[in-house]
Every structure is written in structure tokens, then in C-alpha cells.
Amino acid sequence: MSLYAKPYSEACEQNKAPILAVLREVFTEPGLILEIGAGTGQHAVHFARELPHLDWQPTDQADYLPGIRLWIDEAGLPNLRQPLALDTRRTPWPVTQAAGAFSANTTHIMHWPAVEGLFRGIGQVLQPGGAFCLYGPFNDDGRHTSASNAAFDQMLKQRDPASGIRDFSDLDRLARDNGLRFRRDYPMPVNNRTLVWTRHI
């Protein structure tokens, strides 16, 4: 019997369908998808189940792995791998090559060096032509895109001054510095977006 209760995120349940619609469009070819910051593991299970042509590899900080394993073991999906510990700031990453990458609701809770490490690592492991899908709230030109995002950003910074909603231009600069080219901005429910870059070198 597990010592851990299976974690649950209502936000994951609410956003998994619209995110899946984007992933269906972006990840059309078979291959390994690296998920950074798998959290509870709910997304990993849902996307692996609905996208059986993909081999799904969740990762997160070590503290989250037991909960993720509970979801994975219960699902018993052949294309869903056991989670790996990943600190984006440390190299080498536990996965050295991936056809695609996905991360949801991570950059606004990461400290900036971890965000830099995220894009640096993606640039190293993503195969040429592979896509990186990043879901969450983002600012444009230093401005919040909604009142709710402004309030959320204030809450984040009160809890941790080094966190907060990141600006698209800053993320895109990191992407370009690491060989990624911006492809598309998908508007999502509740003032979120899915940003997609592809590796071009």
C-alpha cells in the first residue's frame, strides 16, 4: 500500500481538453515527448491515453515523482514511461533526445535561472524540426493580458518575489538563443495560451 495519496489538480481537469486539441495538431508524428514539470501526473496520463502514437516521458522535481507514479501505475498505459527527476538548471538532462516537448503552468512558478535552464535544455534535447509547446499565462510587452492574470501575478509575487507571469518577448529571446523559432500562439480558455516553438538547427 502506497504511503502517498494520489495527487489531484482541478486545473488539470479543466484544461486538459483544450491543450489536447493543440497537441493533436502539433505532435502528429510518432516519437518521444518530454514533459517538463508533470506535476500531479494527470496530464501525462490523459495525453498518453489520447495520443497513442506518442511515447510520453514525464519529468519533475524528485518530490513530485511518487504522486506521478501513482497515476501512471493506475493507468497502465504502454506508451507512458515512469517519471524521471529533472532540475532544469542542471545538466545533463536525464533525456538526451526527444521528438517534442511539453510543459504546462511552469514558467511563472520557476525562478528565472530555472526558466533559462528550461529553454537551454530544450534546445539541446529537441530533435531538428521538433516542437516545444508551453502552456500557461503570459504577458505581452510587459503588460498583463487580463485583470485576472494581473491579480494572479500579484499573488504569485507575494508568495515568492522571484516568481511571476513571464513576458512572451523574454521567453522568445531565450528560445531564439537556443535554436528555437516561434511558430504559433494558441489562445486558450481562462486567459491562458499555448506557445509553440520549433527547433530549426
SS3 115: helix
CA dihedral 104→107→110→112, nearest 10 degrees, is 160
Segment 118-134, tens digit of pLDDT? 999 999 999 999 999 99
pTM of the model: 0.96
Q: What is the pLDDT of residues 68-98, one digit of tens each?
A: 999 999 999 999 999 999 999 999 999 999 9
Domain 10-199 CATH (choose: 2.60.120.10, 3.40.50.720, 3.40.1280.30, 3.40.50.150): 3.40.50.150
Q: How many residues does the chain have?
A: 201
* Domain ranges across the chain: 10-199
Crossing angle of helices 10-26 and 42-50, in 10° steps, is 40
Mean pLDDT is lowest, of 5-9, 49-53, 76-80, for 5-9
Q: What DSSP string describes 36-100?
A: E--TTSHHHHHHHHH-TTEEEEEEE-GGGHHHHHHHHHHH--TTBPPPEE--TTSSS-S---EEE
- Which pLDDT score, from 0 to 100, does residue 1 have? 38
